[in-house]
């Protein structure tokens, strides 16, 4: 697959990105590992803590954990409007404050209502923090290097989660509630450096966006979510995000585990190995992938991602051919590793598409819609996966994921690519702009690599 390159054919070096990155962007990247170290401490142990350590039982624990994304989904819409009114920095600092309080509450959650309060606070915070963070990044990082920022941020995020998971696994003991309280309190503390940055060195960025004005100088009518969705390409990008979540992350966090245990008969240790492999591939390959996709059409990068994810789900299906064996464990680790390669293609592209489509005064709503599309799929995917796997329809489950992944790639190239501006699609050429009316014209420059 080929596409126009920007400028000459030389691939950018990491040092070039760091040199071009504004001071504010460097500060934001500097705290990512520490913040997500706290996330990694608690992420693998929510269900164990609530069901076994706090003795709420698995049924109640499942309901409590479901509360978090549900609250986040409800909060995302109003949160996007607040971001556009107050600015992303204020909203993000408030959300991080909620996460600090939520972590403290969960650490002391000896009763169901207290646990629900803590998880509800976390859900509220995550519902507005993600679009606020994306909007803040877009406000300080230039569009031409924004995709590289998102990619490097993703690698650092996974490094933090991976290290946190290792430390947490070595530290916690289900017989000692204090060990779980410590990791939840440590998770709360991990958000404090970001709050200090936002209230201190970054207090001058991400502020209230000046409202647009009409031609006569009067304030323009405020843009709503329906207006945003009517803009060219927006609904298509959000639908793409929903599909990517449905056949991607939602399955990695639920369906893949269910299939591996029920059909592939992989041990819990094997599951841990698969997730470790997933994290390692992201950390090792993200920078390499960033160089390879530089200057390529983002829609075509997503198309390659769809093919890669389809291959990963075929590997998952293969575990069912050799259930309960070491080969099944190896195939699951391969599935998670190949899936991780797809993740390194998606993370620099989809967030960049969303934020390049947005304007400064609507960026909060754009990122909120993106968050809603992902969280909606995350809510409906586990029940669908559970139904198919639980009713002996494992082959149908894998087929749905493979077909869905390929459909994702086809939709990106065959549908979305025709509806967005080449600039939004990552093509910024040095040559003159094509003549009016020649919507698909683009300069043809030397190309190489995977896209």
Which single residue is written with the structure tokens 């990491």? 14
The CA angle 348-350-355, to the nearest 5 degrees, is: 95
Q: What is the pLDDT of residue 323?
A: 93
Distance CA 43, CA 233 (A): 35
The whole-number pLDDT of residue 10 equals 52
Distances in Å between the Cα of 390 and the Cα atoms of 70, 140, 261, 387 are 24, 47, 11, 5
User: Mean pLDDT over all residues of the chain?
Assistant: 84
Helix (H) / strand (E) containing 21: none
Tokens at 363, concatenated: 């960026």
Distance from C-alpha of 238 to C-alpha of 213, rounded to nearest angstrom: 27
pLDDT of 435 reads 40
**Cα distances (Å, whole numbers) of residue 384 to 64, 72, 250, 264, 266:** 19, 21, 11, 18, 21
How far apart are alpha carbons 437 and 209 in whole angstroms? 33
Residue 62: band (very low, low, confident or very high) from pLDDT cuts 50, 70, 90: confident
The domain spans of the chain are 29-200, 228-428
CATH class (in words) of the domain with range 228-428: mainly alpha
Cβ-contact 45, 176 below 8 angstroms: no
- Please name every residue paired with 176 in a beta bridge, in sequence order, or none if there are none: 173
pTM: 0.77
Question: Is pLDDT above 80 for 132?
Answer: yes
Determine the Cα–Cα distance for residues 117 and 333; give it in Å rounded to an integer. 36
Fold match between 29-200 and 228-428? yes
Cα–Cα distance measured from residue 175 to residue 186, given in angstroms and rounded to the nearest whole number: 19
Summarised one tens digit per residue, pLDDT across range 325-380 is 999 999 999 999 999 999 999 988 888 888 888 887 888 888 888 888 988 888 88
Other C-beta atoms within 10 Å of 446: how many? 9
Q: Is 182 exposed, middle or buried (0-12, 13-18, 19+ CB in 10 A)?
A: middle
Residue 211 is predicted with a pLDDT of 57
CB distance 285 to 158 below 8 Å: no
Which CATH superfamily does the domain covering 29-200 fall into? MFS general substrate transporter like domains (1.20.1250.20)
Mean pLDDT across 289-303: 89
Interatomic CA distance for residues 251 and 249, integer angstroms: 5
Contact criterion met (CB below 8 Å) for 285 and 341: yes
* 110 neighbors 49 (Cβ within 8 angstroms): no
């Amino acid at each position: 697959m080929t596409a126009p390159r920007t400028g000459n054919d030389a691939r950018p070096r990491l040092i070039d990105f760091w040199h071009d990155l504004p001071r504010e962007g460097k500060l934001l990247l500097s705290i990512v590992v520490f913040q997500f170290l706290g996330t990694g401490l608690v992420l693998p142990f929510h269900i164990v803590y609530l069901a076994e350590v706090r003795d709420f039982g698995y049924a109640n624990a499942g309901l409590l954990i479901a509360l978090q994304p549900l609250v986040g989904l409800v909060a995302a819409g109003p949160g996007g409007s607040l971001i556009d009114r107050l600015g992303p920095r204020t909203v993000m600092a408030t959300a991080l404050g909620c996460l600090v309080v939520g972590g403290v509450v969960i650490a002391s959650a000896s009763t169901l209502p207290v646990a629900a309060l803590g998880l509800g606070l976390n859900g509220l915070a995550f519902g507005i923090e993600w679009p606020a963070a994306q909007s803040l990044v877009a406000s300080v990082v230039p569009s031409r290097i924004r995709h590289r920022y998102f990619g490097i941020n993703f690698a650092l995020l996974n490094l933090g989660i991976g290290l946190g998971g290792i430390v947490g696994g070595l530290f916690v003991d289900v017989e000692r509630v204090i060990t779980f309280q410590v990791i939840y309190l440590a998770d709360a503390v991990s958000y404090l450096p970001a709050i200090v940055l936002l209230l201190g060195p970054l207090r001058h960025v991400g502020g209230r966006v000046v409202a647009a004005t009409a031609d006569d100088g009067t304030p323009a009518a405020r843009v709503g979510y329906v207006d945003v969705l009517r803009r060219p390409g927006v609904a298509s990008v959000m639908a793409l995000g929903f599909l990517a979540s449905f056949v991607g992350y939602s399955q990695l966090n639920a369906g893949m585990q269910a299939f591996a245990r029920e059909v592939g008969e992989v041990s819990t240790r094997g599951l841990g190995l698969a997730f470790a492999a997933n994290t390692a591939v992201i950390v090792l390959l993200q920078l390499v992938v960033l160089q390879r996709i530089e200057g390529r059409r983002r829609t075509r990068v997503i198309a390659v991602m769809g093919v890669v994810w389809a291959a990963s789900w075929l590997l998952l299906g293969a575990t069912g051919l050799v259930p309960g064996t070491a080969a099944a464990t190896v195939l699951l680790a391969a599935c998670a590793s190949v899936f991780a390669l797809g993740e390194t293609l998606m993370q620099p592209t989809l967030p960049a598409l969303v934020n390049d489509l947005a304007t400064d005064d609507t960026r909060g709503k754009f990122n909120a819609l993106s968050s809603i599309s992902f969280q909606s799929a995350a809510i409906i995917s586990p029940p669908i996966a559970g139904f198919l796997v639980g009713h002996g329809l494992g082959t149908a489950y894998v087929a749905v994921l493979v077909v869905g992944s390929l459909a994702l790639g086809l939709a990106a190239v065959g549908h979305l690519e025709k509806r967005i501006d080449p600039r939004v699609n990552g093509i910024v050429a040095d040559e003159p702009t094509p003549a009016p009316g020649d919507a698909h014209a683009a300069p043809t420059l030397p190309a190489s690599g995977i896209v």
